[in-house]
Structures are given as C-alpha cells and as structure tokens.
Amino acid sequence: MSYKRHISLFLLLLISLKTLVVPFIYLDFELRKEYIIHNLCENRFKTQLHCDGKCYLAKQLHKVAEGHARDEAQKQSDSAKRVIQEVFEESQFNLILATVSYHESDLFSVFSSSVQKGFLSKPVMPPIA
C-alpha cells in the first residue's frame, strides 16, 4: 500500500509541477534575494534605483510566460494540423470523369434530323425591340 501511495504522490507532483513554476520562481527569489541583489541584478551598480533584484524576477517571470505562450501556440498548431489531417484522410475526393464517346455517324444523324425538322432552314436573326 505504501508503494502505491509513493507512486501516486510522485505522479501528482509531476503533474502539478507546471502549475507551480511561478510560485517556485517567487520562492527562489525570496530565498536567494541577497545573492540576486549583489550578483545577478542588472542595476546592482546603480544603488539609487533601489531595484533590489526586481529586474531579475521580472526576467524570470517573462521567460516562463513566453514558454507557456509558445507551448499553447504549439498545441493549437498541432491540434489544427491534426483536425485538417483527419478531415482530408476520412473524406476522399474522387473525381469521376465521364467519358463521352460518339461516332461521326451518330453526330451526322443528330444534325440531319435537326435540319429535317426545319431548325436550321431559316437564318438566325436577333430579336427586334
């Protein structure tokens, strides 16, 4: 029973790791604040700005936000590709070309029957308005 409990807690930790990234960044900042102020801060030589490592914190949060946005864009792109692929794989567009074959004798018989009925015996004139 204990073995299953450890596995379930480990899996829960792995699943929630992505949602806990931002709190971990704040925790890291608070725990290492003095080190960040003296070594990693961009404005460490400009003490009058009183940055106190906030620039480093903002950079780290911006990296995480970009990573999340990139992941979401990739997920949307992949899902759109998958939908398009499923649509075109399921429906097959077959173009059926109907071939019409005729013989000269058939064409002549149609033409001659039209002439016999008087269709082409008169010249074609435009309507008079």
Provide the residue range defining the domain that includes 9: 2-94
Please tell me the predicted confidence (pLDDT) of residue 80. Answer: 83
Q: Is residue 126 part of a domain?
A: no
27 lies in some domain = yes
Would you say residue 50 lies in a domain? yes
Residue-wise pLDDT for 67-89, tens only, equals: 888 888 888 888 888 888 777 76
Q: Which two tokens stand for residue 41?
A: 């801060």
Q: How far is CA 88 from CA 61, 76, 119, in A?
A: 41, 18, 50
- pLDDT < 70 regions, the chain: 1, 89-122, 129
- pLDDT score recorded for residue 62: 92
Q: Report the distance separating Cα 121 and Cα 108, nearest Å.
A: 16
CA distance 53 to 44: 8
**Structural domain includes residue 55:** yes
Q: Is residue 9 part of a domain?
A: yes
| Number of structural domains found in the chain | 1
Is residue 63 a part of any domain in this protein?
yes
Q: What is the token pair recorded at 121?
A: 């015996």
pLDDT of residue 98: 43
Distance CA 23, CA 104 (A): 86
User: Quick check: helix, strand or coil at residue 128?
Assistant: coil
DSSP 33-56: HHHIIIII-TTTT-GGG--TTHHH
Which residues, at least 6 apart from 120, have a Cβ–Cβ distance to it below 8 Å?
A: 114
pLDDT of residue 97: 43
* Residue 10 counted as domain residue: yes
| pLDDT for res 91 | 55
pLDDT the model gives residue 94: 45
Domain membership flag for residue 34: yes
